Amino acid sequence: MTRSSHCPYCALQCAMSLTPAGARIEVAGRDFPTNRGGLCKKGWTSAEVLDTTDRVTRPLRRVDGGFEEVSWAEALDDIARRLRDIRSSHGADAVGVFGGGGLTNEKAYQLGKFARIALGTSRIDYNGRFCMSSAAAAGNRAFGVDRGLPFPVEDLDDARTILLLGSNVAATMPPFIGHLAGARAAGGLVVVDPRRSETARLTEDGGGIHVQPAPGTDLVVLLGLTHVVLAEGLADSAYLAERTVGLDELRREVNRWWPERVQEVTGVPAAQLRQVARRLAEGRAFILTGRGVEQHVDGTDTATAAINLALVLGLPGRVEGGRAVSGYGTLTGQGNGQGGREHGQKADQLPGYRKITDPAAREHVASVWGVPPESIPGPGVPAVELLGMLGREVKALLVHGSNVVVSAPDAAAVTRALDELDLLVVCDFVPSETALLADYILPVTQWAEEEGTMTSLEGRVLRRRRAIDPPAEARSELWVMRELARRLDAPGTWSTDAAEVFDELARASAGGIADYSGLSHARLDEGVAAFWPYPAGSAGTPRLFEDRFAHPDGLARLVAVIPRLREPGAQRGGELTLVTGRLLEHYQSGAQTRRVPELVTARPEAALQIHPATASRLGIASGDLVEITSPRGVTRARAEVTSGIRHDTVFLPFHFPGAERANTLTEAAVDPVSAMPEFKRTLVSVARVEEVPA
Ligand SMILES: Nc1nc2c(c(=O)[nH]1)N[C@H]1C(S)=C(S)[C@@H](COP(=O)(O)OP(=O)(O)OC[C@H]3O[C@@H](n4cnc5c(=O)[nH]c(N)nc54)[C@H](O)[C@@H]3O)O[C@H]1N2
Ligand SMILES: Nc1nc2c(c(=O)[nH]1)N[C@H]1C(S)=C(S)[C@@H](COP(=O)(O)OP(=O)(O)OC[C@H]3O[C@@H](n4cnc5c(=O)[nH]c(N)nc54)[C@H](O)[C@@H]3O)O[C@H]1N2
Ligand code: SF4
Ligand SMILES: [Mo]
């Protein structure tokens, strides 16, 4: 029977039909507002991972020189015993939990609960910290709520202008470019990227403008645009007076960023800044940010500056004829990057996007969990700090849905630290680079083998359905958590039925910012368009901010942000700036897509993009093997000489492990507000490597 489901990868959550054909399933695109029937290469080939040849199908225990198969009972008994021992010798916080934005809402919720009341640890965080935390912090600060897109994605279709900062949707969410068609036809797609990315190239047919600043200078670009809007009288004064606070201080800060000064810092011509600002002020404009501007030590401030620009222009919350006609949003990345940041796997958070420090939130959630509020630990530490504690304060780590050996900053240090642990348990369905370091690998079910829900980049809650039976010994993580909770004598109930867990999540979220209490699997199965907040008795909230922002006074905050310009030479490293990012063919650490033959054939290895002038100065030709060196380490890749990048910048994808690992080079420096690491700016040197013929 054909099942309606959604893609296992990114936050666009393209709709699919899954039809079992013998032991395999056939994937077809299905019409849906986000993808309109389209899928990218990764989506088309996603079913290949279900029966990949090295799929983990039984619990594995580390032995000298490899792994041996063990029964579930043996594995779980031993893990529970060792967790108890670590806890009694070092305290409950010596056990850490690392979650993922790919987990369903049900699993993410249960993992937060499991950490707090079965393990009693505060030390849970997740890979969304690498991904969404800066934009989330900026959204919370300005609007009082963090929903990536506060409007359905199809509202972008009628835009005249879309300013896309640090986002390469043509490679990272291909069907999304359908929603750029209106702006392109109107000549109004503006792409800000130091590279002529696939998305920047969409502007070349006269459909828009490519702005090419030096990496890490977007905050200044945004201050310059805001300066022009205010200086040329293009601001929406009535909107600012009625709907915002903080204009005076903002005006003082941006006064100092006239276009010629911005040009000096960023390399963006003053005339181009004026052109973009004027264009945005013509109305029907959207401003969208991606990881390119967020994964920096000033990512929260940069996202804030983008929101300030949007507010000064009066864009957010403008709804006409039942559609948002302008606005600001961030393009959430992982499949459940949105839901994954709402239900409690974040160090400082309880379900419903509640604060773990809020006594009323603790009381409400404790009553749902059936525990006393004081038994819920306080806030833990963010991901990079948690990884920095491995082998020291943290002796055991449970990993659910992340491959940190490849994807964490300063990955060589993380790999060494994982080795120092007394116990590493990884739930996965493939032997990822992280799983291969574990004491136990526990085989879990994949997307098409289990029921659950995801929340798309627009805050739309979706049903994923089981279409195929899992391998006999693979188990849902809900089952793994139940079995461990039982062995740890945990309080509370631990359902293994996703619909029941959803109902509990809905109760726990009731009254919170991300309120799901009006939803259930059954309700979703009726096909409602379910945008949160969706309190019981409501019809959900496709568009936020029409009447008010989520702060108690209903007003948005303009937060004056100041660039912390680095003195030349203040950061150690070579003379080139390395930015890292994504290729169309691979997903994240590549644990899944490097197992799909078609994708591997298309992109077998990492390539370093480098400008022809820079390459010739360094004696490098396309195809040469090069070594990239930062203060953290050395990585190898083939050179791809291209004029589509600035002279001072090189680009490396982060999907590859081992000697090609981009994160060998990155530093564990983080944004002070969000604790998001700086993946997009590392100083490196590049040199050609002599290849000895075999
Ligand atoms: N194919 C594919 N698609 C994916 C993913 C994947 O791994 N592969 N991952 C998903 C996830 S989790 C995420 S978070 C999204 C990410 O989606 P994107 O944000 O689109 O992806 P990135 O490639 O990380 O970065 C986007 C662009 O930022 C640019 N950039 C780098 N530094 C700067 C800078 O300082 N300023 C500016 N303005 N731009 C800069 C890069 O050149 C790059 O083109 O993609 C999702 N979709
Ligand atoms: N240099 C550099 N580094 C980056 C970035 C960058 O732009 N540059 N981007 C960062 C960003 S935005 C992100 S989101 C991270 C992502 O990087 P990771 O956190 O490593 O994400 P994935 O590669 O998706 O890893 C998911 C792992 O979990 C498994 N998995 C998938 N679904 C499930 C499930 O339901 N349960 C369990 N238990 N396992 C599952 C997969 O097989 C895979 O091994 O990388 C970050 N790292
Ligand atoms: S764009 Fe994202 S959700 Fe859509 S098919 Fe590709 S990976 Fe899947
Ligand atoms: Mo991400």
**Which residue type occupies 629?**
T
Tell the residue nearest (CA) to atom 4 of ligand 3: 14
Kindly indicate the confidence band of residue 91, based on its pLDDT and cuts at 50, 70 and 90.
very high
Q: Is the CB of 102 under 6 A from ligand 3?
A: no
Which residues neighbour 207 within 8 Å (Cβ) at sequence distance 6 or greater?
183, 184, 185, 187, 188, 189
Q: Residue 208 pLDDT more than 80?
A: yes
Q: What is the pLDDT of residues 290-337, one digit of tens each?
A: 999 999 999 999 999 999 999 999 999 999 999 999 999 999 999 999
**Closest ligand to Cα 406:** 2
List the 208-211 sheet strands across, edge first. Answer: 208-211, 189-192, 161-165, 285-289, 327-330
How far is the C-alpha of 599 from the C-alpha of 533, rounded, in Å? 38
Q: Is the CB of 334 under 6 A from ligand 3?
A: no
Query: What are the φ/ψ torsions at residue 518 (nearest 5 degrees)?
Result: -90, 5
Is the separation of the CB atoms in 609 and 197 below 8 Å?
Answer: no
> Degrees (nearest 5) of the Cα angle 40, 44, 47?
140
Ion ligand 4 neighbours, Cβ < 5 Å:
131, 333
Tell the residue nearest (CA) to atom 4 of ligand 2: 407
- Per-residue pLDDT, averaged over 160-173, amounts to 98
Question: Structure pTM?
Answer: 0.98
Architecture in CATH for domain 60-131+336-525: 3-Layer(aba) Sandwich (3.40)
**Closest ligand to Cα 100:** 2
User: Which part of the chain is CATH 2.40.40.20?
Assistant: 576-688
Q: What is the pLDDT of residue 24?
A: 84
User: Which part of the chain is CATH 2.20.25.90?
Assistant: 3-51
Partners of 189 in the β-ladder: 162, 208
Is the separation of the CB atoms in 404 and 96 below 8 Å?
Answer: no
Q: What is the pLDDT of residues 628-665, one digit of tens each?
A: 999 999 999 999 999 999 999 999 999 999 999 999 99
User: Which part of the chain is CATH 3.40.50.740?
Assistant: 60-131+336-525
Which class in CATH covers the domain with range 3-51? Answer: mainly beta
Counting from 1 in the atom list of ligand 3, the atom nearest the Cα of 46 is 8
Which residues neighbour 604 within 8 Å (Cβ) at sequence distance 6 or greater?
none
Q: What is the pLDDT of residues 545-603, one digit of tens each?
A: 999 999 999 999 999 999 986 665 667 788 999 999 999 999 999 999 999 999 999 99
Q: What is the pLDDT of residue 567?
A: 62
The set of protein residues with a Cβ atom below 6 angstroms from ligand 2 is 100-103, 127, 130-131, 291, 295, 333-334, 400-403, 406-407, 427-430, 432, 444, 477, 580-581, 588-589, 591-592, 654, 662-663, 666, 679
User: Considering the chain, what is the average pLDDT of its residues?
Assistant: 97
- Per-residue pLDDT, averaged over 170-195, amounts to 97
Tell the residue nearest (CA) to atom 18 of ligand 2: 402
Q: What is the pLDDT of residue 568?
A: 57
**Closest ligand to Cα 387:** 2
User: Which part of the chain is CATH 3.40.228.10?
Assistant: 149-330
Tell me the CA–centroid distance for residue 380 and ligand 2, in Å: 21
Q: What is the pLDDT of residue 441?
A: 98
Which residue is associated with the tokens 């800044």?
273
How far is the C-alpha of 631 from the C-alpha of 345, rounded, in Å? 32
Q: Residue 74 pLDDT more than 90?
A: yes
How far is the C-alpha of 166 from the C-alpha of 185, rounded, in Å? 21
| Probe target for ligand 1 pocket from 164, 406, 582, 683, with the most ligand atoms within 8 Å of CB | 582
How far is the C-alpha of 505 from the C-alpha of 178, rounded, in Å? 34
Q: What is the pLDDT of residues 662-681, one digit of tens each?
A: 999 999 999 999 999 999 99
Q: What is the pLDDT of residues 498-542, one digit of tens each?
A: 999 999 999 999 999 999 999 999 999 998 899 999 999 999 999
- Per-residue pLDDT, averaged over 223-239, amounts to 98
Question: According to CATH, what is the number of the domain 149-330?
Answer: 3.40.228.10
What b-and-e string marks burial along 257-296, b requiring 16 or more CB atoms within 10 Å of the CB?
A: bbbeebbebbbbebebbbebbebbbeebbbbbbbbbbbbb
Q: Residue 34 pLDDT more than 90?
A: yes
In three-state form (DSSP H/G/I as H, E/B as E, the rest C), the secondary structure along 317-358 is CCEECCEECCEEEECCCECCCCHHHCCCCCCCEECCCEECCC
Fold of the CATH domain 576-688: Barwin-like endoglucanases (2.40.40)
Query: What are the φ/ψ torsions at residue 190 (nearest 5 degrees)?
Result: -115, 115
- CA atoms within 13 Å, Cβ hemisphere of 637: 31
- Per-residue pLDDT, averaged over 442-460, amounts to 97
Q: Residue 611 pLDDT more than 90?
A: yes
